[in-house]
Structure 1
């Protein structure tokens, strides 16, 4: 009787894993670099807190998530008997990580200093806020892991993608572009090179990961021009900081940041929700490419990695990347996620990641974020029905209001701002107060506006009424259109004077439009033409 030969053990690494490793590492380093650029360069945040407190825990979350996805890939390969299973790539989410830096951590640091805290104390308080924010988003994702598909059915794709596209275009596009052009020779050339290889799909004379090559070229150009005296004003070679070991041990520091984090719920909840939606989408993408991962498991790993990062000091949430089929085409299997997790996680603990980020110039890091903003906005239009395009464009406008709101404190003296927020000139509500109200909770506002208009386009007026009434309810409590310039939530009966008037005017506007659409729904509606 013949005995079947035992199956050959599956290899841990194949040649394609090296390509996948470089691509995934560069993605994570670029996001960490932008966080550092935004906090240290734009908000004058103490660099030591960023590199020795925020980064180790953030990197540890990447390690945990990638290790779990590696295990999932090997189990799927063993179960199916296939050798071509590709692990789900996991890393720091670009839109929400950048949003955390620009919309939560940076403004909170400025606010803490305005309360009288010295920069170091304000930085520690901001770090604890970041930890608490990650714990909140992790818990939300943990719960929604079991209900994610129901959430996506409640809102049209245009609302989910359009709201994040507004951030991408207005905040991820414009703000990093300004940093890019502060060193025009380096920044514009690097941006052009990225657009050439990533959008125009042009070829380079040197083979290798395009983003890595662009980073190397831009960095060499930056230091070459700077040392030759041809760089932008203020060029300086960064001081060498010896790597130091920082273990991201679990702590209860996030409890100190919870009270402040609650005021940022209008931002944090959509951030977490969008990651759940993204996790569902990438699971479908991987399934289409031949790797049938269970959606719930993909979402649970994402939630666990975010929670671990938050408890261990991280400030940016992890997510599975949508490029799993691209990594499969590179020939990557499960080794690339293992390598990436070990490099980012251990490198974060040893200070290697922080050292790399410190030496990457802002003018080189910012262009990749500009490209990410362009790509997210483009995908939003490509992945949604054409008839919903106008609805998405409308959803961009609250992001523009938030951009003005975060820039206003740097342009207007405090005493002038108070006057502008309360001055009534006979033409309606104070303009600056409207800007702040429109900007506060702008992600949820964008989602509801887009969902409302998309429902109108589809001839579902009663559904549009429902979205408007939800918006009115959220307005009353400050979850959107908060009359608190900091975006805080409140009980409606606590408001007084002009603040009360503004809140009820906005809420009343939603109710009035809902009533009008409800009346219009009583007439016979034409059947909307189907898209060819």
Structure 2
């Protein structure tokens, strides 16, 4: 197949399920992140919803678009159609570690949520620098490191932080979660097709929502009240908070360097 005749589709079978899977995973992570910022570190709601989440939304768009570009460039370079873009979103292990290991101790020491926030920004900046360096040395690490050694770490993190917590939360409303889980297991681990070719992710969403509304788990007044708080908030550049956090960066390196190096080889 020559490059001139190679056609790379924008959407293929399985992309719809992947879209819903990544979307709901990111949504859950954003909800957990918001709860941690509000309930653990006591960052003011105006900063959480007016600064942190808008910046996260912009970055999610940029990151996923860029990963899509990289995947399509690789597919064209190697004349392949089995290339998948790497998903992009909030990292669950990093999210819990930066809150409970970095931000919470500083908040308890200073009783200042903004000071804790600046420390979290500095920690994230250090992680970013390490990952950026890893983008250049990562291919060499991957070449000489057994794949099982790298994937084993990721699997352990995924089981501990991504799988076990939602599995425990299922028991809070098992009558909703169990049918949804059955649909997901059937769709992902069998060759059975849902009626009308409905994507598994969409079917799970519709089924869970229907059971929740019919069974009274959802409240229309609460949804209306929440909808009234929806507003557009654009991120702003605030270098001062980052500089304040970096002024005492040494203690942050104890966790930033190990986590940064475990992330970097995947670059």
Counterpart Cα distance in 2 of 1:206 and 1:51: 39
8 Å CA contact 1:132–1:258 kept in 2: the answer is: yes
* Cα deviations by residue, 1:330-370 (Å, 9 ceiling, x for unpaired): xxxxxxxxxxxxxxxxxxxxxxxxxxxxxxxxxxxxxxxxx
Residue from 118, 122, 136 that aligns with 2:126:
136
8 A Cα contact 1:197 1:210, kept in partner: yes
Distance 2:248 2:23 in 1: 27
Structure 1 residues 100 and 156: CA distance shift in structure 2, 3 A = same
Q: Does structure 1 retain, via aligned residues, the 8 Å contact 2:119–2:245?
A: yes
| Partner residue, 1:99 | 93
Deviations 1:428-464, CA, capped at 9 Å, x for gaps? xxxxxxxxxxxxxxxxxxxxxxxxxxxxxxxxxxxxx
- State the 1:158 CA deviation: 3.3
Determine the C-alpha separation between the residues in 2 that align with 1:194 and 1:265: 40
Is 1:278 the counterpart of 2:266? The answer is yes
Return closer, same or farther for 1:103/1:74 CA change in 2, 3 Å cut-off: closer
Asked if the contact 2:118/2:244 (under 8 Å) is kept, the reply is yes
Kindly report which structure 2 residues correspond to 1:138-287, keeping only aligned pairs within 5 A, or say none.
138-153=128-143, 155-200=145-190, 202-226=192-216, 237=223, 239-252=226-239, 253-258=241-246, 262-279=250-267
Structure-2-length-normalised TM-score: 0.73
Gapped runs of 5+ residues in structure 2? none
Shift of residue 25, structure 1, vs aligned partner:
5.7
Give the Cα–Cα distance (whole angstroms) in 2 for the partners of residues 254 and 17 of structure 1.
Answer: 42
Instruction: State the secondary structure of the residue aligned to 2:88.
Output: strand
Structure 1 counterpart SS, 2:226: coil
Taking a change above 3 Å as real, the CA distance of residues 199 and 179 of structure 1, as seen in their structure-2 partners, is same
Q: Is the 8 A contact 1:22 1:212 kept in 2?
A: yes
Post-superposition offset of 1:108: 4.3
Cα deviation, 1:487-513, whole Å, max 9, x if unaligned, reads xxxxxxxxxxxxxxxxxxxxxxxxxxx
Task: Show the counterpart of 2:49.
Answer: 51
Deviation at 1:73, TM superposition (A): 6.0
**Residue 143 (structure 1) shift:** 1.3
Q: Return the structure number with greater helix share.
A: 2
Matches of 1:156 and 1:73, distance apart in 2: 24
Shift of 1:70: 4.9
Pairing 1:68–2:69 present = no
* CA spacing shift, 1:262–1:174, aligned 2, 3 Å: farther
Q: Which has the higher contact order (CA 8 A, sep 6+)?
A: 2
- Say if 1:24 and 1:89, in contact at 8 Å, map to a contact too: no
Q: 1:111 and 1:197 mapped to 2: Cα distance? A: 43
How far apart, CA to CA, are the structure 1 residues paired with 2:262 and 2:175? 36
Q: CA 1:106 to 1:205, structure 2 compared with 1: closer, same or farther past 3 Å?
A: farther
1:274 aligned counterpart, secondary structure: helix
Go from structure 1 to structure 2 and tell me whether the alpha carbon gap of 1:182 and 1:154 turns closer, same or farther (over 3 Å shift): same
Q: TM-score, normalised by structure 1?
A: 0.40
2:227 is paired with a residue of what secondary structure?
A: coil
Q: 1:39 offset after TM fit, Å?
A: 4.7
Residue 79 of structure 1 deviates from its aligned partner by 7.0
CA RMSD of aligned residues (A): 3.9
Query: How many aligned positions are there?
Result: 257
